[in-house]
Amino acid sequence: MSEADGPLYKLPLDTYQPSVTYASYISTKQMIDQVLNEDQEYVMWKLRNRRLAGNMKDYLDEFKNEVEHFQSMEWHRKSQSPSSFKKNHNKVTKKQSWDLNRIPPNVVFARDIYERKIKSLPRPRELDETDLKKLFMSHLDDEQMNRYEVFKRTSLAKNQIKKISGVVTNQTVANNINLLLGGVGKIFVGEIVEKALDIKEKWLLGLVVNKFHERKRIGVSLKKHLKKLTRLVERSDSEDSFNDINDSVQESEPESADTDDEGEIKFMKTSNNLLQSQNNVESVRKGLIKQYNILVAKFNELDVSVEKYKDSPLLPEHVHEAWRLYRIENDTLPSGQYRTQGEANGLMFR
């Protein structure tokens, strides 16, 4: 086998017989399954951390324990006598319309648990603004401190704020008002950037899922090609037909291309013709090897990890999507005369 920059190796085109054996097929199939299982664990870990990030998971686990404790209380499980059950049943029947819209008195809400935990925290004294700032600064890590310093140093261009405020109000605006508008605009831009970063992370997770499914599809195709090739080689080396490979891989099942790429469709047609061929000739075996080596290169090139894209810059598409979601979440739209520019053909933040 020739060397490759990944978990799988390509097959030599001329001296392939020693490499194509039943044991090699089993080991390669196990390697493909192991790689796919590791990728699936990574994808599930990233998605789980995305859905329940930070301390929210611990908070929900604690809320679940509180509910289980409430349900296991002795008085809650106390049985009723037949007479009392009938009496209570009649009361519920008479007041059914009132009880349907009534919250039970013993219901435990997550917000109640949260407020109780907050109240139980020690608060020796009220801190003033200076002490709060010192406490805030002392609990920032290096990344948070860097972001805070950048936010403090960053400001919107004063001449642009003055120009926009003059155009909007059609009059001269005082400097203190422009200063206030600059602070409000800075906070607004910060919210949009934060939402754009969140969108970038979601899009990267979507890219991870797509790459994982693509690698999984290629893995299935690799198993088909290698099993078909192993059957042909073993059959040519022995007089009897080789039927010892009994697993879930259906090598004769045709493959379908979920794309409009002409090169990919042509590749799929060639693979289907080779997989469904009943002729045990050298041209078919070499054709399977060529297709298998192409799939091995694609399988090795795919990487589901997104850690290398963590520090990638924001794209205009991220900002556009953040602005769209911001308008939807706040259930508001700017006035039409302020959303247009030029000859009323473009939108704000275009």
Between 331 and 4, name the one with better pLDDT.
Answer: 331
Sign of the alpha-carbon torsion through 298, 301, 306, 312: negative
pLDDT given at position 68: 66
pLDDT given at position 294: 93
Between 109 and 154, name the one with better pLDDT.
Answer: 154
N-terminal to C-terminal alpha carbon distance within the chain: 54
pLDDT given at position 112: 81
Most confident of 4-18, 234-248, 296-310: 296-310
Whether residue 157 is predicted with pLDDT greater than 50 in this model: the reply is yes
Q: For residue 218, give the nearest of 49, 15, 1, 8 by alpha carbon.
A: 8
Whether residue 82 is predicted with pLDDT greater than 70 in this model: the reply is no
Between 237 and 251, name the one with better pLDDT.
Answer: 251
Between 61 and 121, name the one with better pLDDT.
Answer: 121
Query: Does the pTM of the predicted model rise above 0.95?
Result: no
Q: Which range (36-50, 91-105, 213-227, 307-321) has the least confidence?
A: 91-105
Domain-wise residue ranges, the chain: 22-51+193-339
Do residues 136 and 128 make contact, with C-beta atoms less than 8 angstroms apart? no
Whether residue 277 is predicted with pLDDT greater than 70 in this model: the reply is yes
pLDDT given at position 152: 87
Please state the length of the chain.
350
CA distances in angstroms from 86 to 74, 81, 90, 97, listed in the order given: 22, 9, 6, 19
pLDDT given at position 84: 53
Alpha carbon dihedral 47, 51, 56, 58, in 10-degree steps, equals: -40
Between 118 and 124, name the one with better pLDDT.
Answer: 118
What confidence category does residue 300 fall into, taking pLDDT thresholds of 50, 70 and 90? very high
Q: What are the tokens at 5?
A: 């920059």
The overall average pLDDT reported for the chain is 78
What confidence category does residue 110 fall into, taking pLDDT thresholds of 50, 70 and 90? confident
pLDDT given at position 56: 52
What confidence category does residue 70 fall into, taking pLDDT thresholds of 50, 70 and 90? low
Whether residue 15 is predicted with pLDDT greater than 80 in this model: the reply is yes
Do residues 238 and 283 make contact, with C-beta atoms less than 8 angstroms apart? no
Do residues 20 and 233 make contact, with C-beta atoms less than 8 angstroms apart? yes
Do residues 322 and 330 make contact, with C-beta atoms less than 8 angstroms apart? no
Cα separation of 339 and 317, whole Å? Answer: 18
